[in-house]
Structure 1
């Protein structure tokens, strides 16, 4: 269905049902001892086919402090592992989580969904209409593991200690792998001031990916001439697919977003995010790999936009950082007033130093330091998606102001 509100942002391309585990080191330790896990077995690259291999991957990522998305062999592997824990059922996917932020800020949106069930119908706010390619109900939950800094899990021959908080996503989601586009998408895009593209990272069939990209480009012909197209990168199951998506869509992308994990994966090296010279070199290198008009890199310490048009997005960066920080400290249930209170909180001094250095060294670059927050139980899942929602909120507001100021009172 399509809502009756004109000029809605359109956010896609696929939503998910998430099982957000309540972190419990004792349960993980019990499972690790039951499976006789040893330190040398921990790896982030082995196939995930059962409970033991899923546990191996989780503990390997926890030991490194890294966030990631990984494919598992079946949804049963996800639900079986989740049964050991308390968990909350939530909605995920970059578009959906960005839309939830917009809802908190009073901005309606239209979602493009590829799957639907009663969880989605129950949890999707009234301000969020949707178009969907699903022909029947399905449930293929994504396992969300949020781990804190300093978590300890004992193994047979040692222990794992997390150096920093982060989040992990594990799933086997056929509708998102197929990424079938709704026939209603072109009509939804016809009046959209902003279009968010994300979600191709879960696809595994290259021929099908090429087909979907062709279909998406056809649908995007309906977009208004002045619409902003924001592409958010993600943890691709097959990283070579990222290059295919980039090659096909880059000419239509206005803002290309990514987080610190994706930046480092592209560059093939670890970046010290508080070393200004390393950050400057990383931004120069990523600009060569991805020549988008604007690249936005968002990290735990700072968010920086580079490119010829970067300067016009400073307010969007500020809105994005504020939204992500608010979710980090309060979780899903925050209000516009909560976000406003976040804006007055202290900034990360190291992040401020990096932003100053980058703005001095990189022509046209603009940046915003992250907030320095000390939170006992932070929310780490969906921060990038929340960042995107905050960014798009400011972009939408700017587009509406431009529409009101135009002679006809509406955008082209």
Structure 2
């Protein structure tokens, strides 16, 4: 497949020794504006019942898409789902006011790093004019297949509070969250560029994400094999971060997570993904329950240091935990600024987060977790966030961007002192 590369020559681009390489993806996103009256009308027209509201049901048309959205709201879950027909995405998005943005974990993480003055290269599976019009001209990228077509993702941001009547009851919404709906053949194929190894040769930090959109387990195995081969070009001191996500296929999930985690120094996830691995919910303010969960995760995925980022705290558990403490704080600041300001968040907004208060319950659990063994466990409390219009889209992406920026900046500082 053809590939394309752009290396920035902009003198004002963030620079400095070393670089983060961020893969894999790049999307055009249709972020709809939640319209409770419209959603209620559609629920009535489609005769949606409480039993229809299952977040895990197949999505084959607009009715099942709406039922899954309401199912996530009912169970207070965020997530990402595959949609069998792109027409359902187009039909639902066309009914709403929407913003057209660009995303994917690697892209949004890179935009955060750019704001913080840390340069990166995005590994993009495909691009189109809509994407490139929005991608900053001073950012580097490598495209795996410049002939592939992008199909927009549908992004639904559930409000902080509200309710939607259904035929036999009511769906109560009491937590903001984000839902991603995808039919993305380019991402599903996950073509890797033949130039990937050359791009990794100078990396200090390498982020792996995006494999969750794959639907063919055999193809996923081949791509991971190719990824492993390309990663031989990484410098020995490079740090590899795998950011988890909601997989569209259980079979691909098992193949990809097992295969990629063995390549990673850091295995990062949010609270939804943590609880998916565990198979049950946990009390995120109970240090004992959290420690038990971490023990179970280390047994499932031995080797990498675990990072878990939640609305209450972010932690690192494993041998690299002390190294990651400052970067965890950077990730929390970046995600908090996005929660408050969305795409408009700036470096000044990120810095201003330090002026926010920390809820006592967040500090108590963070201190208790760190005290269990500071050599292998560090936890940073999250802030109280004063906003009437929160952005939940891209919080994990912003967190990992802040995390990676913190790691690169720390290594630069070490180099300057040596």
Name the TM-score class by shorter chain.
over 0.9
User: Does structure 1 residue 369 correspond to structure 2 residue 381?
Assistant: yes
1:277-296 to 2 correspondences below 5 Å: 277-296=288-307
Moved more, 347-356 or 229-238: 347-356
Number of the residue aligned with 2:37: 26
Matched, 1:63 2:67: no
Counterpart in 1 of 2:206? 195
Task: For 1:46-125, list aligned pairs within 5 A.
Answer: 46-125=57-136
Partners in 1 of 2:266 and 2:308 — Cα distance? 10
Question: Residue 407 of structure 2 aligns with which residue?
Answer: 395
Q: Please give the alpha-carbon distance, in whole angstroms, between the structure 2 residues aligned to 1:90 and 1:80.
A: 18
Question: Secondary structure in 2 aligned to 1:304?
Answer: strand
- Answer whether contact 1:63 1:163 (CA < 8 A) is retained: no
385, 390, 404: which one aligns with 1:378: 390
SS at match of 1:283: helix
> Contact 1:20–1:87 at 8 Å: present in 2 too?
yes
Pick which of 218-227 and 243-252 moved more. Answer: 243-252
1:49-91: CA deviations, max 9, x gaps?
A: 0000000000111111110100001222111110010010111
Secondary structure in structure 1 of the residue aligned to 2:203: coil
For residues 393 and 190 of structure 2, what CA distance do their matches in structure 1 show? 22
- Distance (Å, rounded) in 2 between the aligned partners of 1:336 and 1:372: 19
Instruction: Measure how far apart 1:7 and its partner are.
Output: 2.8
Query: How far is the alpha carbon of 1:286 from its aligned partner?
Result: 1.1
In the alignment, does 2:13 pair up with 1:3? no
Equivalences for residues 5-404 of structure 1 within 5 A = 7-136=18-147, 138-362=149-373, 364-404=376-416
The two structures, once aligned, show a CA RMSD in angstroms of 1.4
Name the SS for the 1:224 alignment partner. Answer: coil
Any conservation in 2 of the 1:280–1:362 contact (CA below 8 Å)?
no
3-state SS, counterpart of residue 193 of structure 1: strand
Tell me what 1:409 maps to.
Answer: none
Cα drift, residue 283 of structure 1: 1.3
Supply the distance in 1 between the matched residues of 2:166 and 2:103 (Cα, whole angstroms): 32
Distance in 1 of aligned mates of 2:359 and 2:396: 18
Which runs of 5 or more structure 2 residues have no equivalent in the other structure?
Answer: 9-14
Q: Normalised by the size of structure 1, how large is the TM-score? A: 0.95
* CA-to-aligned-CA distance 1:228-287 (integer Å, 9 cap, x gap): 111000001123433322432334311110000010010111111112221121111111
Residues 327, 383 of structure 1: 8 Å contact kept: yes
- When the two structures are aligned, how many residues end up with a matched partner? 406
> Contact 1:2 / 1:188 at 8 angstroms: preserved in 2?
no
* Per-residue CA distance 1:185-230 (angstroms, 9 max, x = gap): 1111111111100011111111100110011011111111111111
SS of equivalent residue, structure 2 residue 367: helix
Give the unaligned 5+ runs of structure 1: 407-412
CA contact (8 A) 1:64 1:163 kept: no
SS in 2 for 1:225: coil
CA distances 1:373-392 after superposition (whole Å, capped 9, x unpaired): 13110000110010000000
